[in-house]
Amino acid sequence: MNPKVSQPRAGTRRRLSCNLRKQRGAAAIEAALLFVIFFTLFYAIVSYSMPILMMQAFQHAASAGARAAVAVEPAAEGYETVVENKVKTVVGDLLDWLPATAHAAVLGGKNGVKVELDKPSAGMLTVTVSFPNYTGNPLIPILKFPGIGDVPKLPKDLTASAVVQLD
């Protein structure tokens, strides 16, 4: 014997269709609100990842440049100039992947790659790689959200440095 499946009564059907009509725009409103939240999170992830990648690359380039300076013979004529040129060549080769605007800011400007040699007193070499005024000229635009502020919140300059003792 098969159990009977009861059909909803007419009053129940009317109430269900009335409730469905009331909910028509709710999905669109919820989707619009969630889109703003998800877009903000996605944009924050993407816009923070680029400066972090650049900082890691700057640190690697500065360290490699400092290591390259150790290979220069201290008795060479024009030692400081040779060291500076060697460091800038190594750093430039490692940061060749940067977009044109970042490449010009980091390697072309006078504030970009600094090589400081403190030979007479301690024999320390400091290599500093910097992207000056990154917040003024970012690779990914910085958005201003009400209540949140700037996304991403970054320091003005992206800088990394490495120090090596030559003696």
In a domain, 59, yes or no: yes
In a domain, 31, yes or no: no
Rounded to 5°, the CA angle 40-46-47 comes to 85
In a domain, 157, yes or no: yes
Closest to 56 measured CA to CA, from 129, 152, 122, 117: 129
Q: CA–CA separation, 30 vs 67, rounded Å? A: 56
Res 94: pLDDT: 92
Q: Are the C-beta atoms of residues 90 and 131 closer than 8 Å to each other?
A: no
Query: How many residues belong to the chain?
Result: 167
Tell me the whole-structure pTM to 2 decimals. Answer: 0.73
Q: Give the residue numbers spanning the domain of 161.
A: 51-165
Q: Report how many domains make up the chain.
A: 1
The neighbour count for residue 131, using CB atoms within 10 Å, is 26
Q: Which helix (H) or strand (E) holds 116?
A: strand 113-118
Q: CA–CA separation, 122 vs 48, rounded Å? A: 38
In a domain, 37, yes or no: no
In a domain, 156, yes or no: yes
Determine phi and psi for 154, rounding to 5 degrees.
-130, 160
In a domain, 77, yes or no: yes
In a domain, 148, yes or no: yes
In a domain, 117, yes or no: yes
Q: Using one digit for the tens of pLDDT, what is the confidence trace for 88-133?
A: 889 989 998 988 888 888 887 665 677 777 654 567 888 999 898 8
**How confident is residue 13, by pLDDT bands cut at 50, 70 and 90?**
low
Please list the residues that pair with 143 across neighbouring strands: 151
Q: What is the DSSP letter of 94?
A: H
Percent of the chain that is helix, strand, coil (3-state, to 5): 50, 15, 35
